[in-house]
Structure 1
Amino acid sequence: MTTASTRVPSLDAEASTGTGAEGADGPLRVALRAIGVIAHRDLLRQAKQPGVLISQGVQILFFVLVYAVGFDGMIGSVGGVPFSAYVFPGIIAIQVVSIGVASGQTYAWDREYGVLRELLVAPVPPVCLPLGKVVAGAGTVTAQSTVMLAFSPLMGVDLTVGRFMAAVGCYALAATVFSVIGLCLATLITRVQTLQATVQLAMFPMLFLSGSVFSPRDVPAWLGWIMHVNPMTYAVDLARQTLLDGSGLLPRWADLGALAAILAVAMTLLRLRSGR
């Protein structure tokens, strides 16, 4: 937490100096500068914890070995697409969503150790703190998904430049949505231990009831209704349609609209709860 506390004076100084004052640069530039400072602080903290990145890499390798490789010979294909190619977009989505939601725990730890109180002293909007964390968390997981996408041809995905760029955009949107959701949970649940338990309790149903590792068209009707309530379903469906260029559970515009609506609701809640 030493890094966190050393960044606070810089945030306060940049917001209160002549070049950063609202009168000189305007409130928007002040807010953007504050968001950048918080994002830079969180990225430095992540860089100093290489073990976390290694554990995330092992997790995604486990899913690839079990589902994309282990089940490929047993299942064969789904709708004419090799199972390894069909499941790979969902495996990347699992990584994106799990890291995105878990990123809210850094906010909870900042509050637990009093860093949040110090950061809120700076003359910037309170929402800048969680938004800075969203930028850092979503940026990191988008970079990870970009690396994983480069290996998708090994899974049987016919990857083109257009599909690659569109898929990066899909995962960036998903990373943003679920990072905001993670921050909302952190503002609603004040105890760190309770937050960790809640995230762990919610993750497995959300991950595995999204169609990430199976075809959502083959499930019973009652389970299909549950999947439609799951926000991750729309991220998986959008990414799968983008990479495989096939029919999905919903039209692409419906997936995009659902993710945009979820993001709007989560951002509104985050704005109301920021600083708590």
Structure 2
Amino acid sequence: MTATNAPASAPACAPPGLVGDDGRLRVALRAIGVIAHRDLLRQAKRPGVLISQGAQIFFFVLVYAVGFDGMIGSVGDAPFSAYVFPGIIAIQVVSIGVASGQTYAWDREYGVLRELLVAPVPPVCLPLGKVVAGAGTVTAQSTVMLAFAPLMGVDLTAGRFAAALGCYALAATVFSVIGLCLATVITRVQTLQATVQLAMFPMLFLSGSVFSPQDVPAWLGWIMHINPMTYAVDLARQTLLGGGGLLPRWADLGALAAILALAMTVLRLRSGR
């Protein structure tokens, strides 16, 4: 009998799911889902972290939205508590998003990253899975925080709630990717933690999250335009309050999309390092 040779385009040893672009995409998506599920389970087993994050947001609300409200009164037509509330949620979203890159660094430190990278999937699947887990967690927290917006004087409708949730989900994705980029560039865990702490406070407080950016000096305004968080805060504030932003909404969206595209390019090039 004459043996029949297998086609070169589909080797006999290749798993069926890996043959063809659709199969590779399904495998990649499944890998992203597995990594996201692993990180979500790890977060669920550490309730103390969620409690500390809740205490942090409560502190910001108590100090800025409640403590300063009687002293400042209002910003434009909005009470000060309503004006800063979108920025306070953005502080939580950005800080947790950027810090999520540290889980990637710890996986690399303990050798877990090396074991995961031997899987027959693109290396970028690992950080993308972490982005899905981190952004999903922060978006869920934003949903809970937005429910308290009427107590801060925000006129919250169903449409504004959905649009604001979309803004925070976008911001969570952008800053989770930025956090992962930092983790792939800075290989030492201690250096990464110090860098995140060093960058966090200027980013948070020079974004207009707890003050009106229209009232700052011109030189500070230029610095704020360099800060990527400025666009997330401005977009969320306009969405919840119905206007009065620093830039048009399309400009905020365009800036966030450009930052995300740049960060994804860096993440794609640095994945597995």
Task: Report TM bin, short chain.
Answer: over 0.9
Give the aligned partner of residue 69 of structure 1. 66
Q: Deviations over 1:245-276 (max 9, x none)?
A: 01200000000000000000000000000000
Verify the 8 A CA contact 1:18 1:24 in the aligned structure 2: no
Give the aligned partner of residue 53 of structure 2. 56
- Cα offset, 1:17, TM superposition: 9.2
- Cα offset, 1:201, TM superposition: 0.2
1:190 matches 2:187 = yes
Verify the 8 A CA contact 2:93 2:172 in the aligned structure 1: yes
Give the aligned partner of residue 218 of structure 1. 215
Amino acid at match of 1:177: V
Distance 2:244 2:68 in 1: 22
Distance 1:210 1:24 in 2: 42
Amino acid at match of 2:206: L
TM-score by length of 1: 0.93
Q: Deviations over 1:136-186 (max 9, x none)?
A: 000000000011000000000000000000000000000000000000000
Aligned length: 261
Give the aligned partner of residue 266 of structure 1. 263
Distance 1:209 1:156 in 2: 24
Please point out which of 228, 239, 242 is paired with 2:225: 228
Please point out which of 129, 138, 143 is paired with 2:135: 138
Identity of aligned residues (%): 91
SS for the counterpart of 1:190 is coil
Gaps of 5+ in 1: 1-15
Give the aligned partner of residue 254 of structure 1. 251
Give the aligned partner of residue 204 of structure 1. 201
TM-score by length of 2: 0.94
Verify the 8 A CA contact 1:19 1:25 in the aligned structure 2: no
Distance 1:23 1:218 in 2: 56
Larger Rg: 2
Distance 2:17 2:94 in 1: 35
Please point out which of 147, 152, 156 is paired with 2:153: 156
SS for the counterpart of 2:54 is helix
Verify the 8 A CA contact 2:17 2:24 in the aligned structure 1: no
Distance 2:68 2:124 in 1: 44
- Cα offset, 1:23, TM superposition: 5.0
Q: Deviations over 1:85-129 (max 9, x none)?
A: 000000000000000000000000000000000000000000000
Structure 1: which 4+ aligned runs deviate by more than 3 Å?
16-25
Distance 2:113 2:93 in 1: 26
- Cα offset, 1:25, TM superposition: 5.4
Amino acid at match of 2:104: Y
Please point out which of 102, 109, 112 is paired with 2:109: 112
Give the aligned partner of residue 96 of structure 1. 93
Amino acid at match of 1:107: Y
Amino acid at match of 1:106: T
Give the aligned partner of residue 9 of structure 1. none
Q: Deviations over 1:182-216 (max 9, x none)?
A: 00000000000000000000000000000000000
Amino acid at match of 2:219: W
Amino acid at match of 1:65: L
Verify the 8 A CA contact 1:167 1:243 in the aligned structure 2: yes
1:25 to 1:260, Cα distance in 2 relative to 1, 3 A:
closer
Gaps of 5+ in 2: 1-12
Amino acid at match of 1:178: F
Amino acid at match of 1:234: Y
- Cα offset, 1:18, TM superposition: 4.8
Distance 1:123 1:174 in 2: 31
Distance 1:19 1:192 in 2: 39
1:22 to 1:49, Cα distance in 2 relative to 1, 3 A:
farther
- Cα offset, 1:22, TM superposition: 3.8
Distance 2:88 2:54 in 1: 12
Distance 2:149 2:16 in 1: 46
Amino acid at match of 1:76: G
- Cα offset, 1:21, TM superposition: 3.3
